């Protein structure tokens, strides 16, 4: 433990209103504002390394108002304190939102999955996080709550830059809302759910490139294509220009694949860092896109 513990103040919130009241307080002259603490899987690593800034941390772990998975006819609502393990083990999420269930299953070891939370993963705003590409592909929404009220916004608008979000001082993520797809039937379009994470090893690795996609279509062409990537830009990225290249009538021919790969190479903004190079990330992203299209061609033609 390299941090000096007297530099930190920690307090457990007894209720959501009490937590929001604390977060709305004026900053301490030396320690600054209260900072929310959920599962702690990121903060504790920084604390042990001596890299966590001194401050006041508000423990939200016991708040029932931020827990639970609620299913309605149109949506699935996940409380911000929903853990990766709870996502992975929920039968409806596994059936209807397999990208998110797979992302949860690939987020660290079991100990991390038992403690790490969906809301914390989002608020931490790492471009290498595992769940954001899946949330972008599923068109998720967020409910943000503060002492003065709450608001919904599309998750696609939430990240504004590297480690930057639309969270205002005193706000918390209350829940994540996932719109459900129409149930299978004669009129429903076939769907392809595609998730691939590339890291240094097969398990417990930080992503070098992560792709999540939801595609709806048939042999006539793609009607819906939501393509999202992680670790290839300062923020989790929905690749709208690449999607537009793939949408519309007509087969996904090798020429269209090559055109989409060229657009993707221009749309993403990978960097060189300790885990990989920009060249590698760009090429792997293009290869994953080709894999996605191959799966789409095989799956949609067979139905």
pLDDT tens-digit series, residues 170-199: 999 999 999 999 877 666 678 999 999 998
pLDDT in tens, 223-249: 999 999 999 999 999 999 999 999 988
Tokens of 112: 């991390």
CA angle 171–39–33, rounded 5-degree value = 40
Q: How far apart, in Å, are the Cα atoms of 195 and each of 102, 182, 281?
A: 7, 21, 16
Is the pTM higher than 0.85? The answer reads yes
Half-sphere exposure in the Cβ direction for 135 (13 Å, CA): 27
The two most distant CA atoms of the chain are separated, in Å, by 65
3-state SS, 204-248, equals CCCCCEEEEEEEEEECCEEEEEEEEEECCCCCCEECHHHHHHHCE
pLDDT in tens, 23-67: 999 999 988 999 999 998 888 888 888 888 888 999 999 999 999
State the Cα–Cα distance between residues 250 and 219, nearest whole angstrom: 8
3-state secondary structure of 9: strand
Half-sphere exposure in the Cβ direction for 122 (13 Å, CA): 34
């Amino acid at each position: 433990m390299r941090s000096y513990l007297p530099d930190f103040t920690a307090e457990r919130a007894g209720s959501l209103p009490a937590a929001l009241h604390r977060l709305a307080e004026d900053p301490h002259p030396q320690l600054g504002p209260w900072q929310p603490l959920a599962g702690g899987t990121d903060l504790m690593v920084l604390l042990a390394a001596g890299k966590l800034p001194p401050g006041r941390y508000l423990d939200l772990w016991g708040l029932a108002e931020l827990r639970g998975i609620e299913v309605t006819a149109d949506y699935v609502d996940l409380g911000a304190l929903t853990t990766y393990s709870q996502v992975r083990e929920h039968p409806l999420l596994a059936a209807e939102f397999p990208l998110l269930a797979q992302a949860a299953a690939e987020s660290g070891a079991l100990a991390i999955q038992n403690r790490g939370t969906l809301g914390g993963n989002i608020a931490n705003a790492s471009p290498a996080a595992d769940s954001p590409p899946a949330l972008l592909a599923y068109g998720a929404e967020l409910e943000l709550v503060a002492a003065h009220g709450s608001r919904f916004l599309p998750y696609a608008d939430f990240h504004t830059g590297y480690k930057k979000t639309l969270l205002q001082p005193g706000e918390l993520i209350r829940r994540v809302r996932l719109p459900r797809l129409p149930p299978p039937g004669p009129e429903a379009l076939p769907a392809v759910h595609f998730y691939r994470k590339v890291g240094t090893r097969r398990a417990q690795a930080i992503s070098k490139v992560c792709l999540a996609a939801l595609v709806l279509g048939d042999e006539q062409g793609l009607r819906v294509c939501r393509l999202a990537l992680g670790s290839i830009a300062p923020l989790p990225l929905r690749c709208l220009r690449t999607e537009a290249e793939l949408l519309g009538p007509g087969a996904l021919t090798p020429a269209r694949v090559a055109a989409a790969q060229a657009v993707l190479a221009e749309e993403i903004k990978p960097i060189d860092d300790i885990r990989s190079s920009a060249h590698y990330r760009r090429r792997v992203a293009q290869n994953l896109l080709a894999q996605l299209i191959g799966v789409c061609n095989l799956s949609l033609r067979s139905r």
